[in-house]
Amino acid sequence: MAEPVKWWFEAAYIQACNCDFGCPCEFQAPPTKGYCEGSGAWQISSGRYGDVSLDGLGLAFAAKWPGALHLGGGTGALFVDERASEAQRAALLQIASGQAGGMPFEIIVTTLSKVLDPFFVPFAFNWDGRNSSVKIGGHMEIETEPVKNPVTGNPEGVRIVHETGFVFKEAEVVAGKTCVASAGEIQFDWPNQSGFVARVRYAN
């Protein structure tokens, strides 16, 4: 059996879901509503899959699970930057499907019972710390803003350090002002719920 192609990438990451701020899943607690619907996107600053450069490309997912993620049964969709060449598309799909090994993808894929055909679409990222956003074709949008103090209305600076986290080890805790997905049977719209913004590095 052939060894997996070595890969790595560094990226800015944005995530939003249907949980309350901070997301109880980060604390090994059940999701707020008992089920999970969420999405995340990576803007890769630098990376390689074997000899294939991944620099500057976008990768994203939208997914839903009937219960907590670790209980499985989820349905997921993958979005790949339409600017990617055929080799880059194949590389990103190998990575995101978990077939190339490496975190977090090799764990995420075990929680999914169904993965839709991939979407090759334009990505439009806007990075501004806690006020960041991404639009992915006509299928997905995330916009974040600081969590607001309920008494003063002032923005709160909140960070999470999750030493055993597999999507991120450290992130800004934000409000997911917009969390919309429309991809086949994955349809949701969750304004003003949980969100995170982070810098990550993954490899197999």
Instruction: Specify if 204 maps to a domain.
Output: no
Instruction: Specify if 197 maps to a domain.
Output: no
Long-range contact set of residues 135-140: C-beta below 8 Å, sequence gap at least 24: 136/41, 136/58, 136/60, 136/79, 137/79, 137/82, 138/182, 139/62, 139/77, 139/79, 139/181, 139/182, 139/183, 140/39, 140/41, 140/60, 140/62, 140/79, 140/180, 140/181, 140/182, 140/183
State the pLDDT confidence band at 11, using cuts at 50, 70 and 90: very high
Instruction: Specify if 202 maps to a domain.
Output: no
pLDDT digits (tens, 9 = 90+) for 31-68: 999 999 999 999 999 999 999 999 999 999 999 999 99
Q: What is the mean pLDDT of the chain?
A: 96
- Cα separation, 96 vs 81, in Å, equals 13
Residue 174 predicted with pLDDT over 80: yes
pLDDT at 3: 82
Q: How many domains does the chain have?
A: 1
Instruction: Specify if 198 maps to a domain.
Output: no
pLDDT at 1: 62
pLDDT digits (tens, 9 = 90+) for 61-119: 999 999 999 999 999 999 999 999 999 999 999 999 999 999 999 999 999 999 999 99
Whole-angstrom CA distances from 151 to 129, 148, 155, 156 are: 23, 9, 11, 11
The pLDDT of 154-159, averaged and rounded, is 96
Residue 2 predicted with pLDDT over 80: no
pLDDT at 179: 98
Which range marks the domain in which residue 50 is found? 7-192
pLDDT at 165: 93
Instruction: Specify if 24 maps to a domain.
Output: yes
